[in-house]
């Protein structure tokens, strides 16, 4: 049985947009990409002394169980050179499982829905572009509603696709 999963991806090292494109292409080994948001540039949150991020959201269909999928996403991060030296620090690529169908998981290894997604504009803006009406299974609100409830701040801007 396949499930629709929503991922958040970010990069702030090297060619950030290319890093995201490479990560998205690696998803094919684990399911089927349904849609990808525009790329958005955002200021770092919590650890501000680092380069700005490029972020996107991905709708993805997979039959892999949530824990196995998370393990696969960590594997993609490692393959692409991610080193976990500093919490919330610079990274070649970061892949978070935001939503996994209506599933709610709360283990040491995995928390779904992602516990901080409702407070992060850099997550909700791209996600709203591809899944505005998807409902958060705990908050019982749509992605659009969560985005509209965010306080001002957190600079996020949509990047124009190359050639535009």
**What does pLDDT average to in each consecutive run of 10 residues of the chain (164 residues)?**
94 96 96 97 85 96 95 94 73 95 92 95 97 97 97 88 64
Per-residue burial over 126-143, b if 16 or more Cβ lie within 10 Å, else e, is: bbbbbbeebebeeeeebb
Q: How far apart are CA 54 and CA 39, in angstroms?
A: 6
Q: Are 59 and 35 contacting, i.e. CB atoms less than 8 angstroms apart?
A: yes
DSSP 3-state assignment of 70? helix
Neighbour-count burial of 75, counting CB atoms closer than 10 A to its CB (0-12 exposed, 13-18 middle, 19+ buried): middle
- Digit-coded pLDDT (tens) for 27-75: 999 999 999 999 999 998 877 788 999 999 999 999 999 999 999 999 9
Q: Per this entry, what is the length of the chain?
A: 164
Q: Which CATH architecture has domain 3-158?
A: 2-Layer Sandwich (3.30)
d(CA 106, CA 23): 26
3 state SS of 12: coil
C-alpha pair distances (Å), 56 with each of 30, 45, 74, 125? 18, 16, 17, 9
According to the model, what pLDDT value does residue 46 have? 77
Is 157 part of the annotated catalytic residue set?
no
Is 102 designated active site?
Answer: no
Domain coordinates in residue numbering, the chain: 3-158
Q: Which of 91, 102, 120, 135 is catalytic?
A: 91
Residue 49 catalytic? no
Please tell me the predicted confidence (pLDDT) of residue 164: 58
Single out the catalytic residue among 16, 26, 96, 120: 96
Q: Distance of CA 80 to CAs 16, 52, 75, 133, Å? A: 12, 19, 9, 32
16, 26, 94, 121: the active-site residue: 94
Catalytic residue check, 111:
no
Q: Which of 88, 94, 96, 82 is nearest to 7 (CA)?
A: 96
Q: Find the catalytic residue in 15, 26, 32, 82.
A: 82
């Amino acid at each position: 049985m396949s499930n629709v999963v929503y991922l958040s991806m970010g990069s702030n090292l090297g060619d950030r947009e290319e890093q995201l494109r490479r990560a998205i292409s690696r998803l094919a080994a684990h399911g089927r990409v349904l849609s990808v948001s525009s790329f958005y540039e955002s200021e770092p949150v919590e650890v501000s002394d680092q380069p700005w991020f490029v972020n996107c959201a991905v709708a993805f269909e997979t039959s892999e169980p949530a824990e196995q999928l998370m393990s696969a996403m960590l594997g993609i991060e490692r393959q692409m050179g991610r080193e976990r030296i500093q919490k919330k620090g610079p990274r070649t690529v970061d892949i978070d499982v935001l939503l996994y169908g209506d599933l709610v998981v709360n283990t040491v290894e995995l928390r779904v829905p992602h516990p901080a997604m409702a407070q992060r504009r850099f997550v909700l803006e791209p996600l709203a572009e591809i899944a505005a009406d998807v409902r958060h299974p705990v908050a019982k609100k749509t992605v659009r509603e969560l985005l509209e409830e965010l306080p001002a701040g957190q600079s996020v801007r949509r990047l124009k696709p190359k050639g535009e």
